[in-house]
Chain A
Amino acid sequence: MEIKTTVNGRLYKLDIPPNWSLAYVLRKKLGLIGIKLGCETGECGSCTVLLNGEPVNSCLVLGVEADGKEILTIEGLSKNGELHPLQKAFIEHGAVQCGFCTPGMILSAKALLDKNPNPTEQEIREALAGNLCRCTGYVKPVKAILSVRK
C-alpha cells in the first residue's frame, strides 16, 4: 500500500505491506535505527516515537496508519547539528548507560514538556512509566528532565 507521511519534517511517499509495523517501516525503509525494537508487545517503550506529537509504541502501530500523519523520531530532534536541550541534559547528567531505552525516554520527555513546560517530578515519572530501563534506573533521567524545565 502506498502512504504519504512526514517524518522528522520531511514528506515521504512509501510503498509498504500492511503487515509491517511502523517501527519496522521506519527502520527498514528510512534507516531510522534510533527506534529500538525491544519487546515488540508494547511493554518496554524503546520503540517510542511521536505520532502527531503524542508518544506511541511504534511496534503496535501499523505502518499504513502513518498515512497523512507526522512522525518525530530521535533522529529529528537535533537542529543544524546541535543537540536538543533534552539530549544535552541526558549527557550532562549521565542519564545514559547502555542507551537502548534512551531515545524512547527522551521522546516521552519531549512530549511531556511540549504540553507542560514545568512538570513536577511526579509528572515526569508518570510520563516515563512506559519506558523501561534495565541497566540502572530512572533517577538520572528524571534529574536530566528536571534540569530543562522552564
Chain B
Amino acid sequence: MWAGFEYFKPATLKEACLLLAKYKSEATVFAGGTDLLVSMRTGGTKPRYLIDIKAIPELSRIKYENEQLTIGAAVTINALAQSDVIGKKFDIITEATKVFASVQIRNRATIGGNLCRASPSSDMVPPLLVLDAMLTAISDKGERDIPIKDFFIGPERTSLEQGEMLKEIRVPTPPQNMGATFLKVRRTGVDLAVVNVAVAVELSENKFKDVKISLGAVAPTPMRALKAEALLKGEACTDENIERAAEMASSETSPITDVRSTAEYRREVSRVLVKRALKNAIQKVGGR
C-alpha cells in the first residue's frame, strides 16, 4: 500500500497535458511504474496526483514510416523486444531489451519511463544515443524536439520542464553500411549495468567513415566518448586504432565506486567493452 494519491487515466494527450498544467509539481506521470512505485514505497516520493498515460493510444504505438521509427513513450520494453521492424532495422535496440532486468519488469517498464528516469545506468539510452534519436516533449503549450544528447542534465535529471512530458522517440534508419552493437557487464542475471556500451560504426573501404560510442553507468549521465570517436574518424579499421580509441574512451569516463562496482573496475571494463563493441560492430557490417 502506498501513501494516498489521486489517480487519473486520461484517454488523450490533451487531457494529460491539461492535468500536468493544472497540478504542476504535485503531478507525476505514471507509465510502467517499475521505478516510480518502488520509489513511492522506499524512496520517499509522494506524488499527490498520478497521471497514468497508458490509455493514450499514440503513446503505446511503434510506427515505421518514411525510413523513420517512432516509439511512443509508453511502449514497454517487451513490446520493443518483440517488434519485427526493430529487430530487422534497429537490432541494437533489441539487444538492449534482452538484457534489461527480468521478464516481469520488461512487461511493465516503458521506454519513456526509462529515459525520463535518467538513470546513469539505463540500458536503453546508449543505443538511442548512437542512433541519434530525437525526443518530442509535449505540454499544454505545444510540442518541442529535444536531441537525445541534450536530454540528460544530471543523475535523475532531464531537460523536461514542469508541465512537460515525453511523447515519443524518433529514430532515423541507420545507413546500410552501419553496424551497431550493445554490450553490458553486470553482476548477476537481472542486475543493472556495471558498465554498458553502445557503438555504431559506418565503414567505407575499411575505414571509419563515422563512429559513435556511448557508455552508461560511468558518468553522471549516459555519455558519448567524443574524443575516442574523433580518433577513429577517417582512420583505418586496425587493431591498434581500435585499442587506442578504447583507451581514450575509458579515459573520458568519470565513474564512481558504489555497491555494484569500483571506479577502477568500471574504467577497465569500459576499455574492454568499447574494444569488443567496436570489433562486433565492424563484423556486423562485414568489415575486416
The interface of chain A, by Cβ under 8 A from chain B, is 1, 17-21, 24, 40-42, 45, 48, 51, 54-57, 60-62, 64-65, 108, 111, 126-127, 129-131
Beyond A1-B7, A18-B6, A56-B108, whether A65 also contacts B52 by CB under 8 A is yes
Q: A42-B38, A60-B34, A130-B190 known; A17 and B104 CB under 8 Å?
A: no
Q: Is B101 an interface residue (CB 8 A)?
A: yes
Chain A CB within 8 A of B42 CB: yes
B4-38: CB near A (< 8 Å → 1, else 0) gives: 11110100000000000000000000000110011
Partner among B5, B104, B107 whose Cβ is within 8 Å of the Cβ of A19: B5
Verify if B284 is at the interface (C-beta below 8 Å from A).
no
Closest chain-B Cβ to A127's Cβ sits at a distance in Å of 6
User: For the complex, is B50 an interface residue (Cβ under 8 Å from A)?
Assistant: yes
Indicate which residue in A21, A41, A126, A130 contacts B1 across the interface (CB closer than 8 Å).
A21
Asked whether B78 is an interface residue with its Cβ less than 8 Å from the other chain, the reply is yes
Chain B at the A interface: SS class: loop
The answer to whether A20 and B37 touch (CB under 8 A), given A54-B107, A57-B104, A61-B108, is no
A102 to B: closest C-beta gap in Å = 16
A130 B105 Cβ-Cβ under 8 A: yes
Q: How distant is the Cα of A42 from the Cα of B101 in the complex, in angstroms? A: 10
Known: A129-B189, A130-B190. A41 touches B41 (CB 8 A): yes
Instruction: Indicate if the CB atoms of B108 and A62 lie closer than 8 Å.
Output: no
Assess A41 versus B4: contact at CB under 8 Å? Given A56-B107, A57-B104, A62-B33: no
A41-B38, A129-B102 are contacts. A57–B7 as well, Cβ < 8 Å?
no
CB of A88 to closest CB in B, whole Å: 23
Set of chain A residues within 8 Å of B42, measured between Cβ atoms = 41
CA distance A56 to B102 in the complex (A): 10
Do residues A56 and B33 form an inter-chain contact, with CB atoms below 8 A?
Answer: no
Write 6 A-B pairs (CB below 8 A) sorted by A numbering.
A19-B3, A51-B107, A60-B34, A61-B33, A64-B9, A127-B103
Smallest Cβ distance from A17 to chain B, in angstroms? 7
Q: In the assembled complex, which residues on chain B have CB atoms less than 8 Å from the CB atom of A57?
A: 104-105, 108
Complex partner residue of A129 from B4, B107, B190, CB under 8 angstroms: B190
Mark contacts of B234-266 with chain A using CB atoms, 8 A cut-off: 1 yes-contact digit, 0 otherwise: 000000000000000000000000000000000
Residues in B with CB closer than 8 Å to A51 are 107
How far is the CB of A31 from the nearest CB of chain B, in Å? 17
Contact assessment for A45 and B102 in the assembled complex, using a CB-CB cutoff below 8 Å = yes
CA distance A19 to B103 in the complex (A): 24
Residues from chain B with Cβ under 8 Å of A18 in the complex: 5-7, 50
Q: How far is the CB of B240 from chain A (nearest CB, A)?
A: 36
Picked from A54, A56, A60, A130, the residue with its CB within 8 Å of the CB of B38 is A60
In angstroms, Cα B189 to Cα A19, docked, is: 31
Most B CB within 10 A of own CB, among A45, A60, A111, A131: A60
What's the least CB distance linking A24 to chain B, in Å? 6
Q: How far is the CA of A42 from the CA of B36 in the complex (A)?
A: 11
Q: Please provide the 6 A-B residue pairs with the shortest distance between their CB atoms, ordered closest to farther.
A: A130-B102, A18-B7, A19-B2, A130-B104, A54-B107, A129-B189
Specify which of A45, A55, A62, A131 is in contact with B7 (CB 8 Å cutoff): A62
Are the CB atoms of A42 and B105 closer together than 8 Å? yes
Cβ contacts under 8 Å, B41 to chain A: 40-41
CA–CA, A18 to B37, complex, Å? 12
